[in-house]
Amino acid sequence: MSLRNENGCENAKKIRLAYGEAELQFGDLRLPDGTGPHPVVIVIHGGFWKSMFTIDLMEQVSEDLTKRGLATWNIEYRRVGDIGGGYPGTLLDVAHAVDFLREIAPKYHLDLSKAVTLGHSAGGHLAVWQAARHRLPEGSLLRTSNQPLAMKGVVSLAGIIDLELMWELIHYKQRMISDVEIENPVADFVGGTPMQVPDRYKEVSPVALLPLNTPQVLIHGDLDVNVPVKLSSLYKERAERAGDQLEMISLPDVEHFEIIDPCSEIWTTIVTKVMKLIHS
């Protein structure tokens, strides 16, 4: 079933499903034409983990991928500023949202053997982290399952995949402007600085959980001033040394938000990488 948008074009039907009891524990499932079983892309929005940024950021991305024959599960989660958001609630929400696919797969004919996560910015962090959570130590507050849903691969779009480095970059940039400490979104999310809560950074930052043993594609614009491209390039070096299979694409003259615009010239490259992971 399809709906028409304001431009008269057909949109895939959006099915809103709750994966938990809290108001923000929900996701939007879109299904492509056909009877399935459908490959699935788990879509995770960014926004520095802040409550002001919502699931709507990835509406167009989800719509486009579904039109290309993929089911999409665009998830919302509690964020900093929401009751229960930040550490650990945000991470637990993402874990529960991903594993919830096991419950709905039979009804909606989802092929979970062909599941990929795709996230942008802070959502890139969460997309890579959820593929790494099987590496969490026993007894971790963030462990929700002994068998997290396995991924065929992960696509990080300008992802914040090294939280300690991102904290440092923001911290030193602020110190150049003023001696007064301003907010640091990474510390706000984790609940402290790397010096104050080092154990949390070891469990929250994907780079600290390597190797993931999951194929990863890192896509980053070289004009990104929100999340510098060096986060992806340095992560790639460490991940490859740990034995992971990675590909990184640095996009010339591309900034932070162009990378999630399905009308941009570089979107076809992103779709190609998603399809390659799913069908590998």
State yes or no: pLDDT of 89 exceeds 90. Answer: yes
pLDDT in tens, 3-62: 444 433 456 789 999 999 999 999 999 999 999 999 999 999 999 999 999 999 999 999
DSSP secondary structure code for residue 209 in this structure: G
Token pair for residue 204? Answer: 């929250």
pLDDT of residue 4: 40
State yes or no: pLDDT of 76 exceeds 50. Answer: yes
pLDDT of residue 182: 67
Angle of helix 59-67 versus helix 267-278 axis, rounded to 10:
60
The full length of the chain comes to 280
Say if pTM beats, i.e. exceeds, 0.75.
yes
Percent of the chain having pLDDT more than 90?
Answer: 88
Token pair for residue 230? Answer: 């060096």
Residue 171 banded pLDDT, cuts 50, 70, 90: confident
| Rounded average pLDDT over 107-111 | 97
Q: In whole angstroms, what separates CA 88 from the centre of its chain?
A: 16
Residue 2 banded pLDDT, cuts 50, 70, 90: very low
| Rounded average pLDDT over 65-76 | 98
Q: In whole angstroms, what separates CA 72 from the centre of its chain?
A: 13
Domains and CATH numbers, the chain: 2-163+203-278 (3.40.50.1820)
Contact 47, 81 (CB under 8 A): no
Contact 94, 129 (CB under 8 A): yes
Side chain identity at 158, as an amino acid letter? A
| Rounded average pLDDT over 164-187 | 80
State yes or no: pLDDT of 133 exceeds 50. Answer: yes
